[in-house]
Structure formats: structure tokens, C-alpha cells
């Protein structure tokens, strides 16, 4: 039974997540502040952490830094901060996924399941090599055939998200939510435009190694061989 540590100071939200996660078959531990979170992390050694950023005694980023110094345990950020700059900061500092409040608890469970299904090397590694394409999450850089690929910050976040979820299809609406943020006021055409730019940036990546494919009637997927 996988162990999930929920770090959330709002009890109704913490309790709601606990109920849904337990119903999904997980063992759940709760912490309502930073000190308790660090102590619980060290004692229960969770398989995944759901981490709220707005804690009464510490910033969630501080907890994330502590976790990353000790472990590669996957961390999903829960927060009312839905701006792109916050998401970029989170991914840069080792967050595995980002869920903006308010959220559907069933979606949280689905995200937890998706992260825990990832191959171990994708959770623990700071970079992923897909044939001649190397995606370095720490340096926020992509190399194709040893050459740096010039990517805008928004397109990098999209590529990073797809690379962390290889061979998984996402609708345009899901990509808008997870990459652009729930408060984005533009239409889903922005996803198509960004995918077009990414494909152009990765034009030297051999199709036999992988590619960004269109799923008719669904959206997009980073296909990896």
C-alpha cells in the first residue's frame, strides 16, 4: 500500500483528500504545518507528497527544498497560486506536478496514480534521455544531437510536462489547465500554436526515437519509443 503525505493546513480540504485517497487504497498521513510536515516525511517515508504552498509557519517551497535534499520522492504541489511563474518555479525546484485550487478530489487521485505509475528513472532523474534528445529539468534545457534547443519559457514548460508524462494523451483543456493555468483567459488554440512551435524546435529529433503526435479528437501526446 503506497503511503501519501498530505501537507495542508485547511482541515476540511485535508480531510476530503484523506477520504478520497483512502478509498483509492492509499495509506494517508496528514500534516498541517511545515514542522509537522518535515517530521512526518522523515518518520513515515511516504511514496508521494501532496504539498500546499500556503502554510502557517513555512512556505511550501521550503518544505520542497528539504524534501529534495533528502529524497527523490515525487511531490505534487497544491495551491491557489495558478500563475505560470509559480508553476515554472515549482518545476524548476523539483515539483513533479502542480494542481491549482479549487480542484476536484477525483482528479487529485488520478494525478497521484499517474505519478506513481511512472518509471522510477523518470521520478528520480534530473534529466531524461530520449534517444538523441536530452531534457534536463534542473538546467531547464533541451539538447538534440548534442546541440542546445532554443525554447521559450512557456514552450519549455509544455515540453517538460509532456516529457514527465511520456506516452500519455492529454486534451487541449488538460494542457491549458496544467501548463497555462486555470485562470488563463485565452482559448485552446494556444495549445495548437505552442505544439507547432515545439515540433519546429525538435525538427532534428528522429521520428523513430519519438515525436509529439496529435491524437484525433483528443489532443496531444509525447510518443516515446
Instruction: Give pLDDT, residue 183.
Output: 55
Which of 12-26, 140-154, 175-189, 198-212 shows the lowest mean pLDDT across its residues? 175-189
Q: What is the pLDDT of residue 119?
A: 56
Percent of the chain at pLDDT above 90? 43
Q: What is the pTM of this model?
A: 0.56
Q: What is the mean pLDDT of the chain?
A: 85
| Residues 112 and 136 placed together within one structural domain of the fold | no
- The answer for residues whose C-beta is within 8 angstroms of residue 117's C-beta and 6 or more apart is none
**Between 219 and 68, where is the model more confident?**
219
Q: How far apart are CA 87 and CA 34, in angstroms?
A: 20
Task: Return the pLDDT at 124.
Answer: 47
Residues 25 and 108 in one domain: yes
- C-alpha to C-alpha distance for 86 and 162, rounded to whole angstroms: 18
Q: Is the same domain home to 131 and 28?
A: no
Distance between CA atoms of residues 59 and 1, nearest Å:
29
Which residue's entry shows cell 507528497?
49
Full domain range(s) for residue 82: 3-118
Q: What is the CATH number of the domain that holds 186?
A: 1.10.10.10
What is the chain's alpha carbon radius of gyration, rounded to the nearest angstrom? 17
Could you read off the pLDDT of 96-132 as tens digits, one per residue? 888 888 889 999 999 999 888 765 544 445 778 888 9
First to last CA, the chain: 30
Q: How many domains does the chain have?
A: 2
Give the pLDDT score at 112.
93
φ, ψ of residue 111 in degrees (nearest 5)? -65, -40
Amino acid at each position: 500500500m503506497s503511503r501519501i503525505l498530505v501537507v495542508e493546513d485547511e482541515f476540511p480540504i485535508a480531510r476530503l483528500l484523506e477520504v478520497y485517497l483512502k478509498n483509492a487504497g492509499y495509506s494517508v498521513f496528514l500534516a498541517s504545518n511545515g514542522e509537522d510536515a518535515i517530521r512526518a516525511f522523515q518518520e513515515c517515508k511516504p511514496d508521494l507528497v501532496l504539498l500546499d504552498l500556503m502554510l502557517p509557519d513555512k512556505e511550501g517551497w521550503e518544505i520542497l527544498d528539504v524534501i529534495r535534499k533528502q529524497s527523490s520522492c515525487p511531490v505534487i504541489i497544491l495551491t491557489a497560486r495558478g500563475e505560470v511563474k509559480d508553476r515554472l518555479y515549482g518545476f524548476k525546484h523539483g515539483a513533479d506536478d502542480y494542481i491549482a485550487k479549487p480542484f476536484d478530489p477525483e482528479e487529485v487521485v488520478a494525478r497521484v496514480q499517474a505519478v506513481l505509475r511512472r518509471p522510477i528513472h523518470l521520478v528520480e532523474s534530473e534529466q531524461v534521455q530520449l534517444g538523441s534528445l536530452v531534457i534536463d529539468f534542473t538546467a531547464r534545457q533541451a539538447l538534440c544531437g548534442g546541440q542546445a534547443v532554443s525554447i521559450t519559457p512557456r514552450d519549455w514548460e509544455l515540453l517538460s510536462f509532456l516529457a514527465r508524462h511520456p506516452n500519455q494523451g492529454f486534451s487541449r483543456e488538460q494542457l491549458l489547465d496544467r501548463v497555462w493555468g486555470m485562470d488563463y483567459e485565452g482559448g485552446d488554440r494556444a495549445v495548437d500554436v505552442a505544439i507547432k512551435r515545439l515540433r519546429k524546435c525538435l525538427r532534428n529529433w528522429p521520428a523513430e526515437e519519438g515525436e509529439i503526435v496529435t491524437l484525433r479528437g483528443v489532443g496531444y501526446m509525447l510518443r516515446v519509443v
